[in-house]
Amino acid sequence: MPMRFANGSAFLRQHLIKVGFLGAWKDVVPAPDRVRVFERIEANLNAVADLEGGLRLTIPLAYVEAVEA
């Protein structure tokens, strides 16, 4: 089931995103550039949301169950 967001600002401030993903995403960007890069990402996501009527996120999931033979 996809998660829907009004815009990039809502997406980046959502609890699951902050707890589960944002830290790792920020670690990819050198510390001196983080604020500038994430402001740009937020602005770009907001622009897409304006064109598309919001944002939709689907997180793929795989469930594997095994029985020892």
Q: Residue 19 is part of which domain span?
A: 3-57
Note whether residue 66 is domain-resident.
no
Note whether residue 24 is domain-resident.
yes
Note whether residue 16 is domain-resident.
yes
Q: What is the pLDDT of residue 59?
A: 83
Note whether residue 63 is domain-resident.
no
Note whether residue 34 is domain-resident.
yes
For residue 49, what are its two tokens?
């949301």
Q: What is the total count of domains within the chain?
A: 1
Residues 6+ apart with CB under 8 A from 49: 5, 6, 7, 8, 55
Note whether residue 8 is domain-resident.
yes
pLDDT in tens, 2-36: 899 999 999 999 999 999 999 999 999 999 999 99
**How many whole angstroms separate alpha carbon 31 and alpha carbon 40?**
15
